[in-house]
Amino acid sequence: MTIKQVSEKTGLSSYTLRYYEKIGLIKPVQRNRSGHRNYIDSDLEIIDFIQKWKSTGMQIKDIIRYIALLDSNEDSYHERLEILEKHRERIEKRIRQAQEFLNIIKYKIEWYKKNGGVLKCEN
């Protein structure tokens, strides 16, 4: 597949795809005889994986490290687990913060319903 086709399939710009390759997020893509990138299915699988991790807020450096550990021949179980546990903690913190914000919004909605939006001051 060409970079344009992959861009259309993934929703990522050609620039982003080249950037991912440049920073090592994806392995160098095979080239055809004229030097144009020729993506294969496994490239799309890793791009999909990256998009899913990014959608959870995982940092690029952590995704790069995680993929490198997967690709290595060494036993990287504990290091991969550590990356995932730290990421889980960050997500849980964001969820707690979002819940706090939601509670504030709910309180304000109830206050407006009860008071008709009029600020009442007691003297």
Q: Which residues of 9-33 are buried (b: 16+ CB within 10 A; e: fewer)?
A: ebebeeeebeebbeeebbeebeeee
Fold of 3-91: Multidrug-efflux Transporter Regulator; Chain: A; Domain 2 (1.10.1660)
pLDDT band at 123 (very low <50, low <70, confident <90, very high): very low
For residue 118, what pLDDT is reported? 66
pLDDT tens across 34-68, in order?
Answer: 999 999 999 999 999 999 999 999 999 999 999 99
pTM given for the model: 0.76
Q: In the chain, what are the domain boundaries?
A: 3-91
Mean of pLDDT values over 18-23: 94
Mean of pLDDT values over 15-24: 94
> Is the pLDDT reported for residue 119 higher than 50?
yes
In this prediction, what percent of the chain has a pLDDT beyond 90?
81
Phi, psi of 28 (to 5 degrees): -55, 130
pLDDT tens across 60-98, in order?
Answer: 999 999 999 988 878 899 999 999 999 999 999 999 999
